[in-house]
Amino acid sequence: MSLIKCPDCGNDVSDHAATCPKCGYPIKPDPGVDPTPAAVNDLDALVRKTLLEEGKIAAIKLYRERKRGVGLAEAKDHVERIEAATAPGQRPHSKLAGCLGLLIIVVVGLLLGLWLGR
C-alpha cells in the first residue's frame, strides 16, 4: 500500500481507496465501468468546487452553462449526486440569506429599539 495525492484536493490517499476521504473524489474507478472522459471529470471537479464555495444554485447554473441542452431537473440531480459523494466535512452549510436574514435583522432591531426605549 502506498499513498498518492488526490488530483482534486491534494490530500494523501491510499492507492487502494475508492474515493478521497477529504473531498470524495473518485480515486479508484469501479470495475466494469467505462472511465469518464477527462472533460467530464474536470466539469465535475469545477461543479464540486462551485458547490462548496457558492452553493447549490450556483453549481446547477454552472453545470447547465457548461453542458448545453441539459434541463434543470437533470442538472439538479447531477449536482446532488456530486454533493452526496462529497465527504460530510466538506459539504456546504446553509447560509442565512435573502428574506430570512432580513427578517432576523428587523426583529433584532425592533427588540433592541424596545429595550433601549424603556
Q: Render pLDDT for 14-60 as a digit per residue (tens, 0 to 9).
A: 888 888 888 777 876 555 555 555 555 789 999 999 998 888 999 99
The CB-side HSE value for 110 (13 A sphere, CA atoms) comes to 6
pLDDT at 111 over 60: yes
Q: How many residues does the chain have?
A: 118
What stretch of H or E contains 18? none
Residue of 53, 44, 103 whose CA lies nearest to 79: 44
Decide: helix, strand or coil at residue 115: helix
Q: Residue 2's Cα: distance from chain center in Å?
A: 28
Residue with cell 433584532: 108
Query: In terms of pLDDT, which residue wins out, 51 or 100?
Result: 51
* Cα–Cα distance for residue pair 105/108, rounded to 1 Å: 5
Residue 2 confidence (pLDDT):
82
- Across the chain, what does the average pLDDT equal? 80
User: What is the structure's pLDDT at 108?
Assistant: 92
What global pTM score does this model have? 0.47
Reported confidence tier of residue 61, pLDDT bands at 50, 70, 90? very high
Residues whose CB falls within 8 Å of the CB of residue 18, separated by 6 or more in sequence, listed in order = 26, 27, 28, 30
Average pLDDT of the residues in 93-109: 75
* Residue 102 binned pLDDT confidence (cut-offs 50, 70, 90): confident
